[in-house]
Structure 1
Amino acid sequence: MLAILAAPSAPQHHVWDSSSPPQAIRVDDVPGVVTRKVVAFQCSKVNSGPLDHDASSKRTVAQAIARLLGCDFVDGVDQVPATPGQGSGEAWAEGARYLVPTQTLTTDEAQRWGITRPEHLFGGVVPHPFVATKVISHPLVEPLAPAPPGWSPAHGSRIRDAVLPGYSVFSAEDARAAAGRLLAGGSVRLKDPAGVGGLGQWVIQSLDDLESHLADWSDDQLARHGLVLERNLREVSTLSVGQVMVGDQVAAYVGTQGLTLNHVGHEVYGGSQLEVCRGGFDALLQERLQPNVRRAVEQALQFHQAALDCFPGFFASRCNYDIAQGLDDHGQMLSGVLEQSWRIGGASGAEAVALQAFAGDPSLRRVRASTTEVYADEVVPPPGAWVLYDGPDGHGRRLVKYARVELDVDA
């Protein structure tokens, strides 16, 4: 177990309070300016309906964030009027419109909605779209290798000790050069930088393997999106390290993700188990962590700080980093950040219940929070669980998602 501290034998489960927030976040009073805050959920999926379980569960989390902030909730940023009153001449106060988008925003998108600081959204803002993908997790094969405008050579140098051996490439020639170097040390994992949930990844054992995959990518696609090649690991455990801020509540955590079987027998995301402390990454580093866990937290913080320093305009209120720890083909133990997530995610239900617990009890320092996803026709969520979604999955069978939090984790 990744427990920061040992849990007592009979943990107390906190029940999610959906009626009223523990406190409202105020906007400074300005004459002629509306101070009521509005939280808008913005789903980037096309044709996302009420039966889209991913969008539906994230919408539920966004509603909870609105309650935590003491705000009205609207479904879709387009539902937020440009001015709060019809012909009243009133204007929105800065930060009165808070956005929960399902994707990381670009600077242009953020500015369109008046988002200029991490206090204005649950997620992140990047200066260029590629900064939100896996492609920033490795350096180029050569300093002058092709890269998109806005690429930061300094970032690759800053994170070398925080990631697995690997390269990001934007041409077939560089992909072959990267593979040649990496294959000398064992098998290589080839990644589509925009792949989600383990999709768009292939293990290659030879240059011929690489060529078979390069045939699926045009030169233009490679130049615009790139590819990632990194050391392949076995016997892997993946840790999640994160930091979230909503209003004046800040928390950081380390945890694990689980897999489960869906109704057609495929392994899919099954939930997250998080050890959460009040405060940011620095507070997390002050906790009693196992050596491998401390290493993961340090690598996540190194990656996070490098992004802040090397990509001007980047900021985020929700940061999550996946760190893989496992053996390479020669039995050497490696640890490194696989990817970043600066948007609402599968663990955000757990993040929300942890933040609500901290907001409700200022003396609380640590909690254990979790999300669980169950594909079964007969499901009874445990006592105290907050149900995020209960409805059909993509195959029309029942899927239940819930979150819960344990308060008594201080020994």
Structure 2
Amino acid sequence: MTTALLTAAPTPDIGAVLAASALRPTVVFGCSGPDAQPDGHDQRTKASVARSLADLLELEFGGLHDPAEHAGRPLYVVPGQTLTSLQAARELGIESPDHFFGGVVPHPFVATKLITHPLVRPGAQAPRGWSAAYGEAVRPVVLPGYSVFAPEDARTAAERLLEHGGVRLKNPDGVGGLGQQVIEDMASLEAWLDETDPQALRTHGVVLERNLSQVETLSVGQVRAGRWLASYVGTQSLTRNHRGHEVYGGSTLTVVLGDFEALQQIGLAAPFATAVEQALTYHRAAARCYPGWLATRANYDIAQGLDAQGQWQSGVLEQSWRIGGASGAEVAALHAFKAQPWRRVVRASTHEVYEEDAPVPPGAQVHYDGVDCHVGRVVKYVTVEENEAHADD
């Protein structure tokens, strides 16, 4: 079974198709979201990757999207966040996969961790548009857990999960492990509920999920830009920022030209093969259960580790249908496929280094090198290996 979008056959190169037209689209980056800071390291890195996409497609890069400046012009949009309504996509001129790099979902909660888990019971409180069928479809490929929107449902979820060990409580919008805590007993949950506004819980929800130890986080994803369609599996690394906190340090991806099935055919080691199969189930369910869903960039985080009984577990944690931390490597891989059409597999890596004198290897593409007012100096760069490599090397 194929999805409506990402596993479709590659379409003609958007640059080549429009080469004869005087109205060639301009690539623009949309810095959006309540916490978006155009001058921050995250947004400037994403804007740099958007510029690299423009180079790939041989189109002009128009910088930050300006509704007044770009009105009436055909655009190829790189939203900074998942677009959370079909109307928002239409207002940007997005009518097909050829018009953007990212994702569109029919309801805001679909872009969060909430859809990873079912409700505690049929008819439990949930936002408008909630798909019970989705929760059932992905249950076999995610860790045991629930999404809840009411205090009584949180108690029910915690009671069930605590029978088998610690529970990870997660802010649905948290990024990079932020907004999470582990609860070991009901007293800890009650303390959290005492500090939580019930109305905020009803509005935003929270995720309760089985906690694992000795965790490795894998990334499985797929990107489409112009005539290039590529899929990948890889690992994430952590690093320490200037405050000594562990934060995302980069991703190393094995990228295959083609769809998820092409990725499955390169002889992956068992943990990677499991992660790909789980991500594909999650991915297909989104297209099936949430009409209007579109994504030309999809990334799925899969946690693999031990539960409280010492049993190995693997499950999808969340999705990212927007330009993200691994996108520099994704786009660099597409550039490699364009430059060397005979290549079918490449290894590309992103690196985020919090050092005053961060070394950058020769040949690396730097997407950010500066001092952010919140995190200090950080350097973000991408490397691509010359030789083909597999995920189990």
Paired with 2:14 and 2:275, the residues of 1 have a C-alpha distance of: 34
Quick one: structure 1 residues 235 and 144, their matched pair in 2 at CA, closer, same or farther if it must change by over 3 Å? Answer: same
Partner of 2:5: none
Q: What SS does structure 2 have at the residue aligned with 1:41? A: strand
**Quick one: which of 343, 350, 365 aligns to 1:364?**
343
Paired with 2:136 and 2:234, the residues of 1 have a C-alpha distance of: 27
Partner of 1:26: 17
CA contact (8 A) 2:224 2:296 kept: yes
Among all aligned residue pairs of Structure 1 and Structure 2, give the percentage whose two residues are the same amino acid: 55
Quick one: structure 1 residues 396 and 262, their matched pair in 2 at CA, closer, same or farther if it must change by over 3 Å? Answer: closer
What is the deviation of 1:338?
0.3
Q: Which has the higher contact order (CA 8 A, sep 6+)?
A: 1
Q: What's the CA shift string for 1:265-293, capped at 9, x where partnerless?
A: 22111111111110121111111111111
Count the aligned residue pairs.
Answer: 376
TM-score computed with the length of structure 2 as normaliser? 0.92
Paired with 2:195 and 2:76, the residues of 1 have a C-alpha distance of: 40
**Quick one: which of 285, 298, 315 aligns to 2:294?**
315
Question: Quick check: 1:82 aligned with 2:60?
Answer: no
Question: Quick check: 1:108 aligned with 2:96?
Answer: no
Q: Which 5+ residue runs of structure 2 have no aligned equivalent?
A: 1-12
What is the deviation of 1:401?
0.9
Q: What's the CA shift string for 1:87-129, capped at 9, x where partnerless?
A: xxxxxxxxx3111111000212101112122221111000000
Choose 1 or 2 for highest CA Rg.
1
Paired with 1:64 and 1:334, the residues of 2 have a C-alpha distance of: 37
Partner of 1:188: 167
**Quick one: which of 204, 215, 238 aligns to 2:183?**
204
TM-score computed with the length of structure 1 as normaliser? 0.88
Quick one: structure 1 residues 403 and 28, their matched pair in 2 at CA, closer, same or farther if it must change by over 3 Å? Answer: closer
Question: Quick check: 1:350 aligned with 2:329?
Answer: yes
CA contact (8 A) 2:14 2:226 kept: no
Quick one: structure 1 residues 324 and 409, their matched pair in 2 at CA, closer, same or farther if it must change by over 3 Å? Answer: same
Equivalence map 1:165-180=2 (5 Å) = 165-180=144-159
Quick one: structure 1 residues 289 and 305, their matched pair in 2 at CA, closer, same or farther if it must change by over 3 Å? Answer: same
Partner of 1:148: 127
**C-alpha RMSD of matched pairs (Å):** 1.9
Of 276-285 and 393-402, more deviation after overlay is shown by 393-402
Paired with 1:184 and 1:45, the residues of 2 have a C-alpha distance of: 38
What is the deviation of 1:199?
0.7
CA contact (8 A) 2:33 2:81 kept: no
Equivalence map 1:121-270=2 (5 Å) = 121-270=100-249
Paired with 1:218 and 1:380, the residues of 2 have a C-alpha distance of: 46
What is the deviation of 1:23?
9.0
What is the deviation of 1:75?
2.2
Q: What SS does structure 2 have at the residue aligned with 1:220? A: helix
Quick one: structure 1 residues 218 and 48, their matched pair in 2 at CA, closer, same or farther if it must change by over 3 Å? Answer: closer
**Quick one: which of 379, 383, 389 aligns to 1:404?**
383
Paired with 1:49 and 1:292, the residues of 2 have a C-alpha distance of: 37
Paired with 1:345 and 1:114, the residues of 2 have a C-alpha distance of: 22
Letter in 2 for 1:119: D
Paired with 1:142 and 1:348, the residues of 2 have a C-alpha distance of: 37
**Quick one: which of 39, 45, 52 aligns to 2:27?**
39
CA contact (8 A) 2:366 2:379 kept: yes
Paired with 2:334 and 2:19, the residues of 1 have a C-alpha distance of: 23
What is the deviation of 1:362?
1.5
Letter in 2 for 1:81: H
Of 310-319 and 49-58, more deviation after overlay is shown by 49-58
CA contact (8 A) 2:349 2:382 kept: yes
Paired with 2:56 and 2:245, the residues of 1 have a C-alpha distance of: 36
